[in-house]
């Protein structure tokens, strides 16, 4: 999306100056009026689903516990596991997906596969020198083994992390169609294969 910064910021500033604090409705209106469609990045992305609406609150007002539990269960029930029962692909392809930050932006080619951009939030390989810290380090992730529960847990986190942490900032890679099933399998291998750089000691 391409924001029209001047209008949106001016509107928010006006609300803040006149009332001290902009209401949620005023901020939503300012955002809606400050974006236009730009290629594959369209304004329908501003429409919240039930999870986003429940988490769209002040940190001092967490989502209602009963509603949160219901939404988490709905997300868990909606996870689609591999049709062939095989969770692991090729870790080398998975490394490429993890390192690719392209996809879904107005300047990206929609004919090209999306990336996971995993390094924006996680350290994966222990020798990486540039990585984000919003999410936990995943170095040595494969030490947890490849039991059925571990495979299903990791797949679920990648498919829709909101099944476990309702208001997580992690993308819902499977549920939102960001990554394909094969890409998810390859990321799984990157995390869990003993030969993967993720699981090599320095």
| Residue 181, domain CATH | 1.10.760.10
The reply to whether 17 and 100 lie within a common domain is no
Q: Write down the mean pLDDT value for the chain.
A: 87
Shared-domain flag, residues 137 and 37: no
pLDDT digits (tens, 9 = 90+) for 80-132: 999 999 999 999 999 999 999 898 888 888 888 999 999 999 999 999 889 99
Residue 63: inside a domain, yes or no? no
Residues 125, 31, single domain; the answer is no
Same domain, 122 and 188: yes
Supply the pLDDT for residue 99: 95
Cα dihedral 101→106→108→114 (10° resolution) = 50
Q: Which domain holds residue 126?
A: 91-199
Residue 79 counted as domain residue: no
pLDDT recorded at residue 58 = 65
3 SS3 class = strand
CA distance 187 to 178: 13
Residue 83: inside a domain, yes or no?
no
Using DSSP bridges, classify how beta strands 2-3 and 35-36 pair: parallel, antiparallel or unpaired. Answer: antiparallel
The predicted structure's pLDDT at residue 97: 97
Residue-level pLDDT at 19? 52
Q: pLDDT at position 20, please?
A: 57
Same domain, 110 and 179: yes
Q: Please give the structure tokens belonging to residue 140.
A: 């040595």
**Looking at the domain assignment, is residue 133 inside a domain?**
yes
Residues 111 and 191 in one domain: yes
State the virtual CA torsion across 12, 16, 17, 20 in degrees, nearest 10: 170
Altogether, the residues listed in the chain come to a count of 202
User: Is residue 33 located within the same domain as residue 130?
Assistant: no
The whole-model pTM stands at: 0.82
Is the same domain home to 106 and 192? yes
Residues 37, 101, single domain; the answer is no
Query: What's the confidence (pLDDT) of residue 62?
Result: 75
d(CA 39, CA 129): 34
Asked whether residue 124 is domain-assigned, the answer is yes
38 contacts 106 by C-beta, under 8 angstroms = yes
39 inside domain = yes
Is residue 144 in some structural domain?
yes
In a domain, 2, yes or no: yes
Q: Are residues 33 and 112 in the same domain?
A: no
How many domains is the chain built from?
2
Residues with pLDDT less than 70, the chain: 1-22, 58-59, 202
């Amino acid at each position: 999306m391409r924001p029209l910064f001047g209008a949106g910021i001016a509107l928010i500033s006006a609300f803040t100056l006149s009332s001290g604090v902009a209401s949620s409705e005023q901020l939503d209106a300012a955002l809606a009026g400050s974006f236009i469609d730009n290629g594959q990045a369209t304004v329908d992305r501003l429409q919240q689903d039930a999870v986003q609406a429940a988490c769209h609150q002040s940190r001092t007002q967490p989502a209602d516990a009963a509603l949160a539990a219901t939404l988490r269960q709905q997300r868990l029930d909606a996870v689609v596991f591999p049709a062939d029962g095989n969770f692991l692909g090729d870790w080398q392809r998975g490394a490429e997906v993890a390192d690719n930050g392209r996809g879904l932006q107005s300047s990206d080619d929609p004919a090209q596969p999306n990336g996971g951009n995993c390094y924006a939030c996680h350290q994966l390989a222990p020798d990486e020198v540039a990585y984000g810290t919003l999410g936990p380090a995943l170095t040595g992730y494969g030490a947890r083994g490849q039991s059925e529960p571990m495979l299903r847990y990791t797949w679920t986190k990648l498919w829709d992390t909101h099944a476990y942490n309702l208001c997580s900032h992690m993308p819902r890679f499977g549920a939102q169609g960001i990554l394909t099933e094969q890409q998810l399998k390859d990321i799984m291998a990157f995390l869990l294969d003993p030969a993967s750089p993720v699981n090599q000691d320095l």
